[in-house]
Amino acid sequence: MTIIQEIHAWSKDLPAWQQDAIARLYVNRELLPQDLDDLFALAKSEAGIPDEDKREPKKLEDAEVAPPANPTRLVQILAVRELENVNALVPGGRLPIAEEGITAIYGENGAGKSGYSRVFKHACRARDRREPILPDARQDPKAAGPARATFESVVDGTPINYVWQHKAEPPEPLADISIFDTHCAQAYIDNHGDFAYVPYGLDILEGLVGVCNKLKARATQEKTVSAASDAGYAALVKEQTAVAKALNAIPGTTTREDIERLATLSPEEAERRTLLVKTLSEAEPKVKARALRQKSLRLKSLKERIDSAVDVLSNQKLAELRELIDKSNTAKKTAELAAQAFKDSPGLLPGTGDEEWKALFEAARAFATLSHEGHTFLALPDDSQCPLCQNPLGKDGVQRLAEFEAFVQGKVEQAAKTARTAAVNAFNVVKGATVKIALDDALTQELAELDAALLSACTAMEMGLVSRQTEVVQAAGGKLDWDTVAVLPDDPRAKLTETVGTLETQAKALEATADEKARAAMAAERLEFDARFSLNEVKKAVLEAITKHEHCAKLQKCIDGMDARGISRKSTELSRTLASKELADALNEELRRLKCHDLQVVMKPESPAGRTQFKLTLQLPGGGTPAAILSEGEQRAIAIASFLAEIKLGKGRGGVVFDDPVSSLDHRRRWEVAERLAAESLVRQVIVFTHDIYFLCILEQKAQELGAKLTTNYIRRTAAGFGAHSDELPFDVLGTKGRIGRLKQMLQAVQKAHKDGEEDTQRALTARTYGRLRLAWERGVEEVLFNGAIQRFGEGVSTQRLKEVTVSDDDYRAIDAGMTKSSKFEHDAAMGVGRLPVPHPDELSMDIENFESWRSAILKRNNDVRAARA
């Protein structure tokens, strides 16, 4: 299991925010301020401090960590093809890769190398995957699917294709391929000023310790700033009250709810506090108690008077009166209808049946008891005299009196009389009631002193009663609509009852003060109420203190969780088991092969501040620190050495991919890196992306010297997109043999233009071809004539190559003639001379053949000279 896998498995039991930190450190060794802000917010959130931005921790997923290389498996990449939605790379493109040796993929800046490199990083689970893989910016992002590619591979000799898709788990065998680029190099360069070497993976623990220390300092500072103060309520703490007990339990058992409860006085408690204040401050409590009880009696009497008045004019009584009057009126109308029918009987005098007639008839009935003693009114003899007119009654007269009696004694008439009597009685009760409540001056003064609002309510009630009585009388007489009768104002009786109770309570409390024990209890009760009242005034400060104490407790939980000792112990444990002398020896060997002779790895398996490291020291007489002496190129060489050392110890057989490995390297170190990569290609597949033509030439030379196979590919930008593959390298990169082949291709284009009669095209192509021929002559001097003994930007002079070299006058004349003619047609002619005639394609063909013949002759002569000088 690799160091990273050990750390990943161990980290799954860490707090979520530390797992997030490891995920970030896995990608980027140096975290940005925003990263630290995020991690601090996550750590506080785990301790119970809400995050306003609601950030969620992210963990390093298993699929992101490359499994250990399989030493029994050989994975080789043959091509990357069928690319989709990878930056602006040509859709469906294919990039071939040699199964063995070095595959050098050359492309100028902006040609698409980074797109291929990102695919390799994600598919092979490189640690650094910060650079995103985005779809072609020229396309609609909504229409683009995920990035995809197919890796043509050979696993242990068996061809197999692996389909990779962005953000999906990559094919496991591809993890055997190791990736190195600029960002990966940074993972090996210490950032503490001493350029200590940390084995790949342990730098994550070093970074985690640094994160913990930084966040711990931040949390400690925040805790200091957030410290609570009891200055706002310190006075209440000193008293012997429930409030003091609660305040002394902060921080501790006292909650916000406790403070809210204690600081809130109910209306009854507030009233009780007021009573206690007044009672305990009274000089003659018994006298005051008697006065209060007298006031209580007067208010009770007032309430009783209001009770009586309101009872008479209550809504119920008014409803009953209205109903009686309505019934009386209805009965009266019914009786009138019956009377009218009686009046309409034939033979009756006008007015018969009216009230006057009824009174006369009633008088006659009463008179009959005297005039006809011994006879009832309805059984008078036929020969008796009429009690009204005193004429003989006769049979008809007796019958007529009976009819009159039946009319007067009829049920309708009696019902009308009964209803009227009930209505009149009820009306007289209302009309004759005394509704004034006798608010004399003395009582008015008392009410004003006790409660001005209560006095106003009583006065309004009295006025309302009088007004209501008047309007009821008017409504009963038909002068006012019942529905417009004024309603009574707000009833003061409940308040009067409450006031009476208060007075009696006060009187009782005053009487109780005569008992010293009771007085002491009341004083203690008042102290509790006063403390609660005062607590309400400083409640905001108390709640703020509780909040700060809670916040500080959570911060302390954060601080405790940021202790880095456990991380340091894990780092030490891994260093003792995985960071062995074998690794130090391997790194020293790589430094030697890269000609970093002044550097040596000294193993120091210890963990200062959680950093288990192998320290690089400079073996120089004058001493000095690496930070002050090492150049950027030397640092890159150290990074490459570290990478190769760890690859070697990993025992894997998979290939390695280098993305611009010589960036920042000087000319001398490029030769060492090229030689080292050529040597590595004898052991495993090596893939190199580069934009450096010079490095490509060096790589070609070193591969030739070591007998390594070198395959060169060229990617460029085309109309179809970036990263288009071509087997043909740029002319500048080719040797003389390759340049001759390219010149012959250009000759064909010149011949076609001549055949088609395109003179301007022929002229331009001819000039360009002669320009390339001139470059071929220059390269021929370096490569062929001098047998590569002296090379431009070379690391030195290869004197052994002079063994094959000889220079004759014919060589000088051939080179001078070829260069002169090529330059003549490439450069602009003087204005006075005019345009030169375009050479015939046959002439151009002959000039190319002259160069090829010269090259062949020199190579043959070099072989002869070498044999002669052997």
What's the pLDDT at 834?
A: 47
Cα–Cα distance, 26 to 187 (Å, whole number)? 9
Cα–Cα distance, 184 to 657 (Å, whole number)? 12
| Confidence category of residue 53, pLDDT binned at 50, 70, 90 | very high
| Mean pLDDT across 93-121 | 89
Which of the residue ranges 451-465, 628-642, 675-689, 743-757 would you say has the lowest mean pLDDT? 628-642
What's the pLDDT at 680?
A: 94
| Confidence category of residue 801, pLDDT binned at 50, 70, 90 | confident
- pLDDT tens, 532-581? 998 899 999 999 999 899 999 999 999 999 999 999 888 877 776 765 67
What's the pLDDT at 403?
A: 64
Give, for 415, the enclosing helix (H) or strand (E).
Answer: helix 411-432
| Confidence category of residue 618, pLDDT binned at 50, 70, 90 | very low
- pLDDT tens, 309-350? 888 888 888 888 888 888 888 777 766 666 665 666 666 777
Query: Other CB atoms closer than 10 Å to residue 395's CB: what's the count?
Result: 9
Q: Give me the long-range contacts of 556-561 (CB less than 8 A, separation at least 24).
A: 556/223, 557/47, 557/48, 558/43, 558/44, 558/46, 558/47, 558/49, 558/215, 558/219, 559/216, 559/219, 559/220, 559/223, 561/15, 561/43, 561/46, 561/47
Strands 148-155 and 158-165: antiparallel
Radius of gyration of the chain measured on its C-alpha atoms: 59
What's the pLDDT at 156?
A: 93
**Is the pLDDT assigned to residue 417 strictly greater than 90?**
no
What's the pLDDT at 338?
A: 60
Mean pLDDT of the chain: 82
What's the pLDDT at 621?
A: 43
Which of the residue ranges 76-90, 378-392, 851-865 would you say has the lowest mean pLDDT? 378-392
Cα–Cα distance, 501 to 764 (Å, whole number)? 121
What's the pLDDT at 15?
A: 94
| Confidence category of residue 688, pLDDT binned at 50, 70, 90 | very high
Cα–Cα distance, 820 to 823 (Å, whole number)? 5
Cα–Cα distance, 369 to 387 (Å, whole number)? 10
| Confidence category of residue 439, pLDDT binned at 50, 70, 90 | confident
Cα–Cα distance, 163 to 593 (Å, whole number)? 37
What's the pLDDT at 352?
A: 72
What's the pLDDT at 129?
A: 77
**Is the pLDDT assigned to residue 2 strictly greater than 80?**
no
| Confidence category of residue 607, pLDDT binned at 50, 70, 90 | low
Give, for 271, the enclosing helix (H) or strand (E).
Answer: helix 267-280
- pLDDT tens, 625-663? 555 566 777 777 778 888 888 888 888 899 999 988 887
Q: Which residue has the higher pLDDT, 31 or 834?
A: 31
| Greatest mean pLDDT among 130-134, 177-181, 706-710, 725-729 | 706-710
Q: Which of 518, 532, 502 is nearest to 280 (CA)?
A: 518
Please name every residue paired with 710 in a beta bridge, in sequence order, or none if there are none: 102
What's the pLDDT at 831?
A: 43
What's the pLDDT at 190?
A: 45
Alpha-carbon distances of 302 from 306, 435, 469, rounded to whole Å: 6, 12, 19
- pLDDT tens, 243-264? 999 989 888 899 989 999 999 9
Tokens representing 656 are 């390695």
Tokens representing 2 are 């690799």
Which of the residue ranges 26-35, 359-368, 440-449, 520-529 would you say has the lowest mean pLDDT? 359-368
Read out DSSP for 581-626?
A: HHHHHHHHHHHHHTT-TTEEEEEE---GGG--EEEEEE--TT---H
**Is the pLDDT assigned to residue 214 strictly greater than 70?**
yes
Q: Which residue has the higher pLDDT, 490 or 836?
A: 490
- pLDDT tens, 774-798? 988 988 888 888 877 776 655 567 6
Q: Residue 622, exposed/middle/buried by CB under 10 A (0-12, 13-18, 19+)?
A: exposed
| Mean pLDDT across 505-530 | 80
Cα–Cα distance, 97 to 104 (Å, whole number)? 9
Which of the residue ranges 278-282, 313-317, 486-490, 497-501 would you say has the lowest mean pLDDT? 278-282
Query: Other CB atoms closer than 10 Å to residue 213's CB: what's the count?
Result: 15
| Mean pLDDT across 279-293 | 73
What's the pLDDT at 420?
A: 86
What's the pLDDT at 823?
A: 83
Cα–Cα distance, 366 to 405 (Å, whole number)? 12
Residue indicated by tokens 């375009």: 838
Tokens representing 250 are 């902060």
Q: Which residues contact 130 (CB under 8 A, 6 or more apart)?
A: 27, 28, 183
| Mean pLDDT across 735-752 | 88
Give, for 443, the enclosing helix (H) or strand (E).
Answer: helix 441-450
Q: How much of the chain exceeds pLDDT 90, in percent?
A: 23
What's the pLDDT at 601?
A: 72
Q: Are 238 and 244 in contact (CB under 8 A)?
A: yes
Cα–Cα distance, 649 to 642 (Å, whole number)? 11
Which of the residue ranges 21-35, 198-212, 603-617, 759-773 would you say has the lowest mean pLDDT? 603-617
Domain extents in the chain: 234-282+513-537, 285-313+433-507, 321-428, 734-869
Q: Which residue has the higher pLDDT, 828 or 474?
A: 474
| Confidence category of residue 101, pLDDT binned at 50, 70, 90 | very high
What's the pLDDT at 714?
A: 87
